[in-house]
Structure 1
Amino acid sequence: MSRKIFTEEQQQLLRQNPYIYSVTDTRINLTKEFKEIFLAEYKSGTSPRKILEDHGFDISIIGERRIWSISNHIRTEYKKYGEFHEGYRPRSVPAADAS
């Protein structure tokens, strides 16, 4: 399955959302604030699609596959680090000291 590429126009539309930290032709990076909102709403039983729609994300641009990827990435980041990072956490950034 190929990766969906965002056109320049779609990238511009996505950048208008205050919860998007940055956008490239293949990646959406979310703000720390949105990740916190997403996780709280997800834990209260709201579906990932509804959370994204309620916060101004255009599902027709994002695509169905990314809805679940976003959800998975947010939950995985929290489980792994216990907190959220603004944008994308590079693999070289170590987790916060647990002491």
Structure 2
Amino acid sequence: MSKIIFNEHQCRQLEANPNVAAVSERAIQYTPEFKVKAVKENLQGKGPSQIFVEHGFDLMVIGTDKPKSALKRWRKSYQLYGEQGFFEERRGKGSTGHPSTNDLSAEKKLEKAEARIKYLEAENELLKKLEELERQAKRRS
């Protein structure tokens, strides 16, 4: 997310650009067609700033770093997924979050549950010891 905050006038100016799909006060969403075109032009040797200026963007509004960082992300996406990667929603796919428990066998589920029980029992013991130490410290003072 950009550190630049667009005012109402700048948002309208950006929305008027045919290469922009949507604008918020902090972000610009570019059309997939523009992304493909920009990556291809960049691979042919054009600089990021030149590409953005030629396609109607004011670098004073969007910032001079945005073209470079956007093209860096788009080139990576283009290498991984090709042109089609810009036309389909990719967020959330291939997530490395918590692994699903749906695919676990009954044995694995039991093993995980036993490990969790053991952990919680140890936690309870620790809390009991802590409470006892606090009571002893209170009696001494």
Taking structure 2 as the reference length, the TM-score comes to 0.59
2:66 and 2:89 map into 1 onto residues whose CA distance is 18
**Bigger-Rg structure (1/2):** 2
Q: Which residue of 2 aligns with 1:26?
A: 26
Q: Which residue of 1 aligns with 2:132?
A: none
How many residues align? The count is 92
Tell me the CA shift for residue 71 of structure 1: 1.1
Task: Write out per-residue CA displacement over residues 9-45 of structure 1, whole angstroms, 9 at most, x where no aligned residue.
Answer: 1111000000001111111111111011101110110
Task: Write out per-residue CA displacement over residues 58-91 of structure 1, whole angstroms, 9 at most, x where no aligned residue.
Answer: 11101012121211121122123223425x9452
1:12 and 1:90 map into 2 onto residues whose CA distance is 27
1:38 and 1:13 map into 2 onto residues whose CA distance is 20
Q: Which residue of 1 aligns with 2:78?
A: 78
Unaligned runs of 5+ in 1: 95-99
Tell me whether 1:14 sits opposite 2:14 in the alignment.
yes
Unaligned runs of 5+ in 2: 95-141
User: Are the equivalent residues in 1 in contact too, given 2:15–2:23 (CA < 8 A)?
Assistant: yes
2:3 and 2:68 map into 1 onto residues whose CA distance is 14
1:25 and 1:77 map into 2 onto residues whose CA distance is 25
1:90 and 1:41 map into 2 onto residues whose CA distance is 23
2:16 and 2:63 map into 1 onto residues whose CA distance is 17
Report SS of the residue matched to 1:26: coil
**Root mean square deviation, CA, Å:** 2.0
Higher share of residues assigned helix: 2
2:40 and 2:31 map into 1 onto residues whose CA distance is 15
With over 3 angstroms needed to count, the CA separation of the structure-2 counterparts of 1:93 and 1:68, relative to structure 1, is: same
Taking only the aligned residue pairs, the percentage that are identical comes to 34
Taking structure 1 as the reference length, the TM-score comes to 0.81
Of 20-29 and 77-86, more deviation after overlay is shown by 77-86
